Structure 1
C-alpha cells in the first residue's frame, strides 16, 4: 500500500525512519518469523507513516538570514549587534536542519526581526534623545500617579545617559528599552477607573438570574481583572486586556429562561369571552397562543424569543375587536320586513338599502360604525315611504292622539290617510243630512 509513496515532501528524518521500517517489512516477509514479530514490524511501519512530517518552507528564513548578513556591523552598537548575531547563528542552524518544523522556523523569523529592529547605531543617542523628548511632551495628568512615578525614574536615568559623554552603547540601549517600556505601560486614569467600574458591576450582578456557565466565566474574568487592578504598578497591556475580557463576560451573561410572563398572557388570552369579539381578531389571538405554547416546548429557546412572544401576544390581545351592537338595526329590519310593500310607493330604494343592511347584520366582522351607518341609511329610507292612494280605507281612520310625536311622525312618513278620512266623513255626514230632510218633507 505504501511502497510507492512520494517521500520527497517529508523531512529527511521521518522519511529515513519510514524507509527503514519498509525495509524491515521486506525482511519479515522473506523470512520465517513468528506472528509477534510480524505484528511488531507492521506496527513499526504504521508508526513511521503516522509520524511523517512535511518539509517546512525555508524561503523567507533564508532571505531574512541573507538580509541580516549584509548589515554593516561597524555602524551598530556592539551590544545590540551581538544579540542579532546570536539570533542569526540560531537561525542558520535551523535553516540548515531540514528536519526543522514550520513552527520553529516562524518563531526564529520573528526573533530575528525583533533583534534587527532593536539595533542601535554606534555612539548614536539620537533614538534615546527623541524618546526622552517624546516622554517630556506627554500630558502626565492623563495617567495614574504610580505609573508616572515609574516613568520619571527611567526618564531621569535616560537623561543621565544622554549627558554622559562616556556612556557606552549598552547603557544607551538599556536606557532606551526601560524608558520605552515604562511609556508603553502607562495606564490612563480613564481606563483604570473604567476597569474599577466593570469590577464593581460584575460584583453587583444577581447571579441567581443567569446561567451557571456564564456566571463562571464572569467570575474568572473578574478575578483576573482584580489582579491587574491591584498590581503595585498597573500595566497598560494587562489593564486593557482585563477591560476587554471582563466586558465580554458581562455581555455574554445569559439569563435563565423566565416563562412567568408568557404563561400569564397565555392564561389571559385563553380566558377571553369569545362571544364578545369578532372571529378574525379571535383567530389572530388563538394562532399566537399556539405559537406561544410551541415556544415553551422548544428545547433551545432563548429569553429574547420568550420576551418577543410576550409582546406579540399582549398586543394581539389588546387589539381584539368587539362585536358591534346590532339590536336597533335588527329591530328596524324586522319592522320593515313586516310591512306589505304593495301598499307603498317608491319602495325600490328602501328594498336596496334593506338588503345592504341585512348584509351588514349578517357580517360578524362589521364594526359598530358600519352598523350605525346602515341603521341611519335604512331608517332614512323607511321614513320616505308613502302609501298608495288606492289603499285608503274608511275603517282605517285612526283615533286622534294627543301625542305630538306620533302626529309628527305620521307627517314625516308622508301618511295623508288621516286628512283624507276626515274629508270622506264630512261628505257622508252631509249626504245623510240631505236624505233626512228629503224624507221629512215627504212625510
Structure 2
C-alpha cells in the first residue's frame, strides 16, 4: 500500500513517535531506519496516514528545541513520503511544519490548535497541506487549573469553532481543515467519555473530525492496576468500531487491531439495513419489535445542540418560583436521501421550526423532573413524520446540588412503536 486511491472512511492514522520519552513507545524508533521500517509496517497493517512526531506531548514531558525536533522528524518524513506514503507531521512549531511539508508531509497535525506558535496559521496558509486543529488549553503543567467544563462537548466545540474561524481568517480554506477534540488534554475521564458520546457536536462544525483514543489513560482506568499500556489496544479497537460512523479518521498505535475492528463494522453495515437495525437494537436505541423489512436508513441525522430555554421545572419551591436555564440537545434520525436528491424541504425537517418547537415544549407547564421534560421534547421531534428515532439530552447546569459539579443531564432515546 502506497497511499494511492481513496481510503475507506474512517481513515486509520498510524502513530510513529521518533522521541526518547513518548509514554507508549519512547525511544523505540529514534533511529531513522527503525522508524521507516515501523512506518512501512503500519501501512501494511492498514494505515492511510503515518503521523510522525518528534516531541512528546505526554503529561510532564519536557519541551524540545525546534532544531532537535526537526533533526528527528525530517529524515523520517522524507523517507516515508519518497515511498508514496501519506505523512502527517505532529508539531506545534511553524518552522518544523514548513520544513516537514517541504520534505513531503501532506498534513500538519498541531495539538495546540495554533495557540503555541503565533506564526503557525500564516505559515500553514501558505503551504500545500491539510491542517489539524486540536482542542488545547495549554501545556500539561496547567491542565489541573483549566480542566473545568460546563458541558465538555459544547465547550470543546465552541472553542474549536473559534480556532476554525481564526484559521479561515488566516487564509486556510475549510476543506483543508480537521478538528480533534483532544481527548486526555486538560480533560478528566468523564469529559473524554462525554466527548465520545456526543461527537455530533464536532461534526456540526463543518470540518473533518479525527479522534485519538489510543492508549489514553482513561482507557487504562478500565484495566487492572499495573496493566501494560499495550493492553489498552483492544479497548482502543472497540472504540474505533463504535465511533466509526461519526469520524473521518482515527489516530492509533496498533493499526492492525483497529483496522480489523473497522472491517467487522463495515461488513455488518454492508449486510444491509436489517443488520444496521440490529446494531441499533443492541445499543438499546431502536425497538427490537420493528420488522426488518421496515428498517430505516440509519446513518442520517439532524442535530440541534445547545438549545437554551428558561423554565420553572424542579422539585424545590425556589426552582418553581425563580426558574432557571435548561440546555437541550436533540438528534433526529431520518432518511435524508430523498430530500438531498430533490432539494426538497418537505422531505426533511425544518430545523429552525424544530428548534422553536423544542424550546416551546421545555418552557411550558412546570414539572418536577427533567426526565419528563425529555419525554416532552422527544414527542415533539417524533411528531415529524420523517423522523423514526430521536435522542434527547436535557441539561440542568444550575441544578440545586450542594457539591461542586459541571452539569446534570438526562438522555433518552425514543423511536416509533
- TM (norm. structure 2) is 0.18
Greater helix share, structure number: 1
Q: RCO higher in 1 or 2 (8 Å CA, sep ≥ 6)? A: 2
TM score, norm. by length of structure 1: 0.17
Larger radius of gyration: 1
